[in-house]
């Protein structure tokens, strides 16, 4: 599905269509030199293992008031999809539905501190949940703090983020439909999602 970006989570973040989807032609990605093959198993010694925590079926008053002011927000549709244990404290991954006049029904996501406001958000057209599938991803491009958010079916065991210096992070989504991480260091160059059926899906990230 083609991501529709209404506002960026960060100024430097990109919203990317998964290459080769049925509804859109494949996109061209410049493969970094000497990238090598995608990992065939979850790395045993990553820089860090990030474990997403379970979300909440409802959002708090701060986030509910923020969402209520957004055009097209479907009242009562919001939830905390997962909790990211960041180095500066928890971040909620908020998910909600919106009805856009031109694009129709959308699923939207953002990150926010438990008692703070989001800085932006991104939305995709609502589609059928297909098992063992990456639905979309966004990531930083440029200097400064790095961020990756991968939206996927909830049967992901782990998401591996490979970095430009060939190190990696492992994210355990814990049954949620999102893997998220932020760090200071080299940019991300590839993501690989390992599924509960023993298969995996990889995507190279354009610079």
Question: pLDDT tens-digit profile of 99-158?
Answer: 988 889 999 999 999 999 998 898 888 878 899 999 999 998 788 899 999 999 999 999
31 domain-assigned = no
CA R_g for the chain: 16
24 domain-assigned = no
Q: Structural domain of residue 59, as residue ranges? A: 3-16+36-204
Q: Do 190 and 203 meet the contact criterion of CB atoms below 8 Å apart?
A: yes
pLDDT tens track for 20-57: 333 333 444 556 667 899 999 999 999 999 999 999 99
30 domain-assigned = no
Please state the domain count of the chain: 1
114 domain-assigned = yes
15 sits in which H/E element: strand 13-16
121 domain-assigned = yes
190 domain-assigned = yes
What predicted TM-score, i.e. pTM, was given to this entire model?
0.83
29 domain-assigned = no
Please give the DSSP secondary-structure letter assigned to residue 73: B
130 domain-assigned = yes
* The pLDDT value given to residue 2: 36
Please state, in angstroms and as integers, the Cα–Cα distance from residue 16 to each residue in 21, 61, 91, following that order. 12, 31, 22
**How many C-beta neighbours within 10 Å does residue 59 have?**
21
């Amino acid at each position: 599905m083609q991501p529709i970006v209404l506002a960026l989570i960060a100024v430097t973040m990109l919203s990317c269509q998964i290459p080769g989807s049925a509804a859109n032609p494949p996109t061209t990605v410049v493969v970094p030199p000497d990238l090598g093959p995608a990992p065939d198993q979850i790395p045993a010694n990553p820089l860090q293992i990030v474990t997403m925590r379970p979300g909440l079926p409802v959002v708090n008053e701060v986030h509910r008031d923020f969402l209520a002011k957004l055009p097209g927000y479907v009242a009562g549709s919001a939830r905390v999809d997962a909790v990211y244990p960041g180095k500066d404290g928890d971040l909620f991954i908020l998910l909600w539905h919106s009805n856009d006049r031109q694009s129709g029904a959308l699923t939207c996501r953002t990150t926010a501190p438990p008692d703070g406001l989001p800085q932006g958000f991104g939305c995709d057209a609502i589609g059928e949940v297909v098992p063992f599938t990456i639905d979309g991803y966004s990531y930083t491009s440029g200097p400064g703090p790095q961020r990756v958010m991968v939206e996927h079916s909830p049967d992901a065991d782990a998401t591996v983020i490979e970095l430009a210096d060939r190190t990696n992070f492992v994210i355990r989504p814990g049954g949620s439909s999102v893997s998220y991480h932020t760090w200071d260091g080299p940019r991300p160059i590839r993501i690989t999602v390992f599924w509960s059926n023993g298969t995996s899906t990889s995507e190279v990230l354009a610079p």
